[in-house]
Amino acid sequence: GAVVSQHPSWVICKSGTSVKIECRSLDFQATTMFWYRQFPKQSLMLMATSNEGSKATYEQGVEKDKFLINHASLTLSTLTVTSAHPEDSSFYICSAESGGAQGEQFFGPGTRLTVL
């Protein structure tokens, strides 16, 4: 199957700093990428959908100025958590869609963010 990578796999930062997480589709072009957030022992919650070359579509309740998403190419999307606070600590997972009418989503391994 197609491979999606995320970098970094884990990051610890101080409160008030910004953190960038990269999501790459390694062997296919992804017109659409998705960002999810997962709290411990809870399900993945869709944060936003990003399409290459256009603005991301955020789910209700997700602050777009807090979670900046850039999808600059068909193989790379970035999520920047701005002015991070301890409540932003979570597991962030991206996925990339392979396209087509029933395009399958391929998931990255996730990035664990801890804000001190």
Partner 1 sequence: GNSVTQMEGPVTLSEEAFLTINCTYTATGYPSLFWYVQYPGEGLQLLLKATKADDKGSNKGFEATYRKETTSFHLEKGSVQVSDSAVYFCALGVQGAQKLVFGQGTRLTINP
In this complex, which beta carbon is closest to partner 1, that of residue 87 or of residue 102?
102
In this complex, which beta carbon is closest to partner 1, that of residue 35 or of residue 84?
35
Count, residues near partner 1 per rule CB under 8 A: 24
Q: Counting beta carbons within 10 angstroms of the beta carbon of residue 35, is it exposed (0 to 12), middle (13 to 18) or buried (19 or more)?
A: buried
19: which residues sit within 8 A by CB, 6+ positions away?
A: 11, 13, 80, 81, 84, 113
Stretch that binds partner 1, among 10-18, 63-71, 76-84, 102-110 (CB under 8 A): 102-110
When binding is defined by CB under 8 A, the residue of 33, 35, 110, 115 that contacts partner 1 is 110
